[in-house]
Amino acid sequence: MTDRNALPPSAPGDELKACCAAAYSSDVVALLLGDSYHPGGTTLTRRLADGLDLAEDGHVLDVASGRGTTALLLADAYGARVDGVDYSRANTALAQGAAAAAGFAERVAFATGDAERLPYPDSLFDAVVCECALCTFPDKPRAAAEFARVLVPGGRVGITDVTAVPDRLPPELTTLAARIACVADARPLAEYTEILAAAGLRTVRTERHDHAMTRMIDQIEARLNLLRMTAAARFTEAGIDLDTAPAVLAATRTAVADGALGYALLIAEKSP
């Protein structure tokens, strides 16, 4: 799977990034996931933002900004100036349109770019947020180093992401599709903190939100049952096999119940 609206492959791992970009800019994926593409939705985004100590007019970078939901919330509810960066040109265009429609064109801007090679200068942002995306990045240490590079001294990074114990995942959750779905290359929470620490980001807060993962599985399953009756042809055209989805969802639910899979919030700080 490739995405002509994504950045062209130029380094190892870029083909995988293009697959992720294609998936998350797809209308059929939007039908399955709704407005918010991550467990916990905007409620968890607000909890994350509250931990960033954002000042009025603070400058925030939203990495893997998708269609702009988080960036617009930060501008509206927190008075932030927000830049969003996403690997998919289609998502960038959709997010720009959403910002203009919401009246935030002067406070929110979106660019197409790579989280492992952020198109911004050093020490530009007061905070960086990245929701349900670090787990998909092929080179997580490099992405973390980029987060630290663009932060001002004392700035904070806020992450919500899938956590996993890789050697305990069932076979259904170790495929390429599972990786794109934020599962196959997720790491234990402790490993995320180690990756951030190596980049000069000291973790100051972690929270488990595994229940949000379970709720999202339930929501996807409900939408899937409806869409199977009303829009099955659209999924077939997009190359998505609806017949295998129930088994994957069941395996995901079991992995969460067994503690092999979960969801977490993490806030880290760059040394002042």
Q: What is the DSSP letter of 226?
A: H
| pTM (two decimals) | 0.85
Task: Give the span between the Cα atoms of 106 and 60, in whole angstroms.
Answer: 14
Q: What is the pLDDT of residues 84-110, one digit of tens each?
A: 999 999 999 999 999 999 999 999 999
| pLDDT score of 54 | 92
Q: Can you give the pLDDT at residue 9? A: 47
In this structure, the dihedral spanned by the alpha carbons of residues 86, 95, 178 and 48, taken in order and rounded to 10 degrees, is: 80
User: Distance (Å, rounded) from C-alpha 108 to C-alpha 65?
Assistant: 11
Mean pLDDT of the 67-88 span: 96
Burial of 210 (0-12, 13-18, 19+ CB in 10 A): middle
251 — pLDDT class (breaks 50, 70, 90): confident
In this prediction, residue 2 carries a pLDDT of 41
Decide which of 51 and 179 is more confident.
51
Contact by Cβ (8 Å): 77, 49: yes
Place of tokens 């899938």: 162
Please state, in angstroms and as integers, the Cα–Cα distance from residue 97 to each residue in 104, 164, 213, 245, following that order.
10, 35, 29, 32
- Residue 266 is predicted with a pLDDT of 98
Both tokens of 172, joined, read 């259904």
Centroid of chain to Cα 71: 12
pLDDT at 220: 83
Q: Which residue's structure tokens are 């289609």?
A: 90
Indicate the range of 188-192, 235-239, 241-245, 262-266 predicted with least confidence.
Answer: 235-239
78 has pLDDT over 50:
yes
Proportion of the chain above pLDDT 70, given as a percent: 79
Q: Over the stretch 148-165, which tens digit does the pLDDT of each residue have?
A: 999 999 999 999 999 999
**For residue range 197-234, what is the model confidence (pLDDT) as tens digits?**
999 999 999 999 999 999 988 888 888 777 777 776 76
Does 131 score more than 50 pLDDT? yes
* Span of 25-39, 55-69, 142-156 with lowest mean pLDDT: 25-39
Q: What is the pLDDT of residue 1?
A: 41
Residue-range domains of the chain with CATH: 14-270 (3.40.50.150)
pLDDT over 60 at 125, yes or no: yes
Burial 98-115 (b: 16+ CB within 10 A, else e): bbeeeebeebbbbbbbbb
Q: Which residue has the higher pLDDT, 5 or 143?
A: 143
Confidence of residue 185 (pLDDT cuts 50, 70, 90): confident
